[in-house]
Structure formats: structure tokens, C-alpha cells
């Protein structure tokens, strides 16, 4: 089985300023890599590079065998704070349906299969409960569910999720964990940035970032007391 | 009453043409304005509107069509806005603000070389809706079709841009290309509308009707239809007001559009306040239900 994502000596950053260097990983289909670190640690920068929004500073990275950003229908990205304008007069269902635009391009018609996929992901994320309401009228958690449903509607082979549990309560977080588990079971590779150590429990690889790779490995290996103290200045309770 | 409402238009050919121009401008601005409001481009739209002033002033001085001058001015301004938007050392609103004030000043200076300075600059800034010719109407109809075609073809990237630029890029659409397409659509709208309402007031027709639609609608097509309706009502009412009260026609049209928005905004706020009060009242009456929800 070939790897879905490979990075070798990768350095990521803005302009000519690297933020994190010496990143190496190989992710097989169905793998989950969790990026953990404080604000400004480089989690979002790495995700944006994998999504093709930033150019790698050095090293190499391949997503589904090609450079990042060239296969939009096969890779979906959830930004950290999707701009959901207070005035945006768009219904939840219309926002979720935008997830199919990568498959339909500029002019190809939306098919009944697209509509069925949108309905299905809205049920799975619970967004069907407020499908006809405008996005501006929703709470932060409901908006986050809507954006997550949009990402899932792409039916991508790689999911890049920047803090998908932000703004969600405990049941919402559990629902996101279930969704990620379902996606992985159908072979989708997931890279997720988070502040929550609990989100890393089911990961294959955990990468602890603090403007450098502090630790990397299985949750047990990466989340050692020494690594956490270096990254956050505290250790997790035993 | 019928004479008051319809008489001016049935009796005067020039007023009928003005109304037709107002309707066409309302439709063009409804389409472009919807995306201006969704994407938050009001300031850029204003800058583009001011950017056409030197172009029109030069065209007037040279004795060529103002539309050609406006198109050249809009192109220069679009290029300028595109360049400053890619610079990070200064916030884009500062750069664009300087650019549009500079273009406005240049337009006034060029216009000061004209023999009838005050007349020309007033026409450029506030329009001359009562002097619209049949040829102008055909040109505006063509512009309406072009703006409609751009909006229809680019509807998906335009919608994505309204939500998030990163989402647009990762959906396979170039942010720069479609942002420029949107600016081009707004520029074409300004060029097609400035003769009717003027470069200073065109932003009112771009924003007020679309913002009114955005208050009520939850679909882009509904926002556009509402905006077109508001724009048409504003054009008709503004011309009527101008005829009976002897007021500036272009300014009357824009003022009515802004007043409709203000009225609708008040209605929406009152509705929200009443709905909020009803929710609080309901919670007080049924505290057990409230408690169950949070268990």
C-alpha cells in the first residue's frame, strides 16, 4: 500500500521566514496524525503547507503522490477560524454544498449524487437540525459543525483539520472523534491540529510542536512528561 | 393621484428614458452589489468609483466618450488596488484610501483645465440621469448582460470567496484570478452606472439595495432579486421626488435607496427584539423545560 502523505526534511513558514524545520513523516491510508502545540507553534503553518496554501521553504512533501494543492477534489482542508461573516445570508445547506464545488469545477452541473452526499454528511454531523437556517443566526458550535460537514462533503482521501473541535462542547467533541474514526475506517488519512491532549489518544502519530518538532511518535512516546513540559510548561496528570 | 404617480413619465420622453436607465442600473448594481456586500468590498468599490474620475475628465477634455475614459480609469484603479492589496507593509484600506483620494484629486485637476469646470465635475460626481440617451441605454443593457454572465459563470468561486479565501484556493479556484474577476465586474458596473447616478453616488446603489436584501434573505439569488426590486423602487421614487420637488435626480434615487435600507434595518431589529423577548418570556413560564434541555 503506497503512502498518502510523505514529508522529508520539510521546513514550513511565511515568506522567507521558516517557523518549523526538519519535519519528517509518512502517513498511510487511514492514518491519523495529531499536531499539538501552543499558539504560534507552527501547527496551522504546517497544515496550510500540506493544503497548498503556503509554499514549502525547503525539503519535500507529497500529498497523494503530488505536490500539495494540485488535487483539490481529493484533499479537504478545514481552516482554523473559517470566516463566517455576521452578514452572510447563506443557508447551512448551501454552505455544506460548497464542499462539492471542487468536484464540479466552474460549470459542471450538480448531480443528484452530490445532493445525496450533502444530505448524508449533514445527518452525520447533526447539521441537518438547522439546515435551512442562515449561517449568521447560528452559535459558534453550530457554525463549526456546518464547516466540518462541508469538508466531509468533499469525500476526500486526505483531511486536513485545523482545530475541528474548537467551540464544541463535550458531546460535540465526541461526535467529531466518531466522524474522524469513520473516515479513517474508509481509508482517509487525517492530519489534525489541536490544543486538546485528549484528541491525540487514538492517533497513529503525534507531533509536538513549539516552532520546532519537540517530539514525534505514538501518543505514549510523544506525550512524555519531559516533552510536554518543554512544549507547554506543564505535565499531564497521571 | 394617478397623474401624480404616472403623469411625469407618460408626459415626458426624457423621464421615461431616465427611468429605464435607473431600472438597468438597479439590475446591474443588484448583481455586482450582492457580491460586494457578501465579500465586504464596499471600500474597494468606492475606490473604483473614484478611480474613474480622471479617466472621464480626460475623455471630456479630449472630446471622446466618457465611457471609454471611465473604462481606462477603472482599469488603472483595478491594477492599483491589485498591487497594493498584495503589499503587507501597510494595511490595504490605507493604501486603497490614498489611491482613491489621489485619483480623485487628479481627476479634479484634469477637469480644471476644462472651460466649464464646475459643470463637468458635477456631472461626473453626481451623474446626469435626466440626460441619458438611447445609445446610453443600449450600452447599459449590454453591461447588464455582461455583468450577469460573469456572475453566473463565476458564481461558485465568488460564493467561496465570500466565505473564505483558503477554502476557495483548496477547492481548486485561484483566489487572485476570481478576486480580479470580481473587481472587473464591479468596475464594469461603475462604468455603466456613473452617467446615471455619478461616481460619488454609485456606491450607494451598489450597497444599499444589496444590503437590504441581505437583511432578509438567506439565499444569494433572493438577495439579488430583493436588491433589484429595491433599486427599481428607489429609481422610480427618486425620479418622482426629483420631478415634483425640483431636487437633484441622481441624489434623490440614492437617498431613497439608503432610506429603504434604514427602514428595513429598523424593522429587522424590532423583529429580533420581539423574538428575543418572546424567548425570555417562554423560559420564565416553563422553567422545567429549560432545565431538562440543559441536563
Predicted confidence (pLDDT) per residue in B213-231, tens digit: 999 888 899 999 999 999 9
- Lay out the sheet containing A158-162: strands in order across: A75-78, A158-162, A189-194, A32-37, A205-209, A213-217
- Which residue in B207, B220, B236, B174 sits closest to B8, CA to CA? B236
Q: Report chain B's mean pLDDT, rounded to a whole number.
A: 86
The tens digit of pLDDT for each residue in A177-232 reads 999 999 999 999 999 999 888 888 889 999 999 888 988 999 988 888 888 887 77
What is the bridge-based pairing of β-strands A189-194 and A158-162?
parallel
Chain B residue with Cα closest to A75: B170
The tens digit of pLDDT for each residue in A15-44 reads 888 899 999 999 999 999 999 988 888 999
B98 vs A75: which has the higher pLDDT? A75
Residue B171: DSSP 8-state: T
The shortest CB-CB distance from A87 to any of B157, B171, B214 is to B214
* Percent of chain A topping pLDDT 90: 61
The shortest CB-CB distance from B171 to any of A72, A87, A132 is to A72
Separation between Cα atoms, residue B150 and residue B162, nearest integer Å: 16
Separation between Cα atoms, residue A206 and residue A218, nearest integer Å: 6
Instruction: Select the residue from A63, A64, A76, A88 to test the B interface by mutation, using most B Cβ atoms within 10 A.
Output: A88
Q: How far is CA B90 from the centre of its chain?
A: 27
B176 touches chain A (CB under 8 A): no
What is the pTM for the complete model shown?
Answer: 0.86
pLDDT of residue B179 exceeding 70: yes
pLDDT for B291: 38
B172 touches chain A (CB under 8 A): yes
CATH hierarchy code of domain B2-293: 1.10.3470.10
Separation between Cα atoms, residue B54 and residue A66, nearest integer Å: 48
In the structure, what pLDDT confidence band is assigned to residue A158 with cuts at 50, 70 and 90?
very high
Residues of B in contact with A85 (CB under 8 A): 38, 40, 162-163
What is the mean predicted confidence (pLDDT) over B246-270?
Answer: 93
pLDDT for A1: 54
Which domains are assigned to chain A? 1-74+157-238 (3.40.50.300), 82-155 (no CATH)
Separation between Cα atoms, residue A147 and residue A127, nearest integer Å: 9
Q: How far is CA B78 from the centre of its chain?
A: 16
* Contact (CB<8Å) B170/A77: yes
Residue A85: DSSP 8-state: -
- In chain B, where does DSSP find H-type helix? 2-11, 13-39, 42-62, 66-85, 92-111, 117-126, 134-153, 155-163, 165-170, 175-197, 202-216, 220-245, 249-285, 287-293
The shortest CB-CB distance from B171 to any of A90, A94, A101 is to A101
B184 touches chain A (CB under 8 A): no
- The A-side interface with B (CB below 8 A) comprises 48, 51-53, 69, 72-73, 75-77, 79, 82-85, 87-91, 94-95, 98, 101-102, 104-107, 132-134
- From residue B28, alpha-carbon distances to B125, B249, B265 in Å are 19, 19, 23
pLDDT for A105: 92
Amino acid at each position: 500500500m503506497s503512502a498518502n502523505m510523505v514529508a522529508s526534511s520539510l521546513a514550513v513558514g511565511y515568506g522567507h521566514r521558516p517557523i518549523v524545520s526538519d519535519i519528517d513523516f509518512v502517513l498511510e491510508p487511514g492514518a491519523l496524525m495529531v499536531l499539538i502545540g501552543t499558539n504560534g507553534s507552527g501547527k496551522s503553518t504546517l497544515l496550510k503547507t500540506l493544503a497548498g496554501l503556503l509554499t514549502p521553504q525547503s525539503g519535500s512533501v507529497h500529498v497523494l503522490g503530488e505536490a500539495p494543492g494540485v488535487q483539490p477534489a481529493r484533499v479537504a482542508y478545514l481552516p482554523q477560524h473559517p470566516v463566517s461573516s455576521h452578514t452572510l445570508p447563506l443557508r447551512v445547506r448551501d454552505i455544506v454544498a460548497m464542499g462539492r464545488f471542487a468536484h464540479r469545477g466552474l460549470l459542471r452541473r450538480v448531480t443528484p449524487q452530490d445532493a445525496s452526499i450533502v444530505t448524508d454528511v449533514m445527518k452525520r454531523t447533526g447539521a441537518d437540525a438547522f439546515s435551512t437556517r442562515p449561517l449568521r443566526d447560528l452559535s459558534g458550535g453550530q457554525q463549526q459543525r456546518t464547516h466540518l460537514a462541508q469538508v466531509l462533503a468533499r469525500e476526500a482521501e486526505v483531511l486536513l483539520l485545523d482545530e475541528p473541535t474548537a467551540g464544541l462542547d463535550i458531546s460535540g467533541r465526541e461526535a467529531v472523534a466518531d466522524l474522524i474514526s469513520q473516515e479513517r475506517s474508509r481509508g482517509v488519512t487525517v492530519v489534525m491540529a489541536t490544543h486538546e491532549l485528549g484528541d491525540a489518544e487514538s492517533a497513529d502519530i503525534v507531533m509536538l510542536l513549539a516552532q520546532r518538532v519537540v517530539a514525534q511518535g505514538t501518543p505514549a512516546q510523544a506525550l512524555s512528561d519531559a516533552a510536554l513540559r518543554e512544549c507547554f510548561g506543564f505535565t499531564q496528570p497521571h | 393621484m394617478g397623474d401624480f404617480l404616472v403623469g411625469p413619465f407618460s408626459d415626458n420622453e426624457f423621464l421615461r428614458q431616465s427611468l429605464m436607465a435607473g431600472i438597468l442600473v438597479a439590475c446591474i448594481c443588484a448583481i455586482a452589489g450582492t457580491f460586494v456586500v457578501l465579500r465586504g468590498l464596499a471600500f474597494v468599490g468606492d475606490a473604483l468609483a473614484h478611480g474613474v474620475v480622471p479617466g472621464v475628465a480626460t475623455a471630456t477634455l479630449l472630446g471622446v466618450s466618457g465611457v471609454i475614459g471611465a473604462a481606462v480609469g477603472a482599469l488603472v484603479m483595478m491594477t492599483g488596488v491589485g498591487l497594493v492589496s498584495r503589499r503587507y507593509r501597510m494595511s490595504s484600506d490605507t493604501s486603497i484610501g490614498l489611491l482613491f483620494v489621489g485619483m480623485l484629486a487628479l481627476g479634479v485637476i484634469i477637469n480644471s483645465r476644462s472651460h466649464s469646470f464646475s459643470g463637468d465635475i458635477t456631472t461626473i460626481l453626481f451623474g446626469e440621469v435626466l440626460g441619458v440617451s438611447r445609445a446610453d441605454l443600449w450600452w447599459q443593457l449590454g453591461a447588464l448582460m455582461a455583468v450577469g454572465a460573469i456572475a453566473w459563470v463565476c458564481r461558485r468561486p465568488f460564493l467561496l470567496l465570500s466565505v473564505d479565501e483558503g477554502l476557495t484556493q483548496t477547492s481548486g479556484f485561484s483566489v487572485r484570478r476570481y478576486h480580479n474577476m470580481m473587481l472587473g465586474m464591479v468596475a464594469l458596473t461603475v462604468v455603466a452606472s456613473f452617467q446615471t447616478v455619478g461616481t460619488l453616488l454609485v456606491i450607494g446603489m451598489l450597497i444599499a439595495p444589496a444590503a437590504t436584501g441581505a437583511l432578509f434573505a438567506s439565499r444569494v439569488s433572493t438577495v439579488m432579486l430583493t436588491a433589484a426590486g429595491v433599486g427599481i423602487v428607489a429609481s422610480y421614487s427618486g425620479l418622482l421626488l426629483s420631478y415634483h420637488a425640483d431636487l437633484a435626480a441622481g441624489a434623490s434615487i440614492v437617498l431613497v435607496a439608503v432610506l429603504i435600507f434604514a427602514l428595513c434595518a429598523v424593522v429587522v431589529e424590532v423583529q429580533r427584539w420581539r423574538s428575543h423577548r418572546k424567548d425570555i418570556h417562554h423560559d420564565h413560564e416553563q422553567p422545567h423545560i429549560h432545565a431538562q434541555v440543559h441536563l
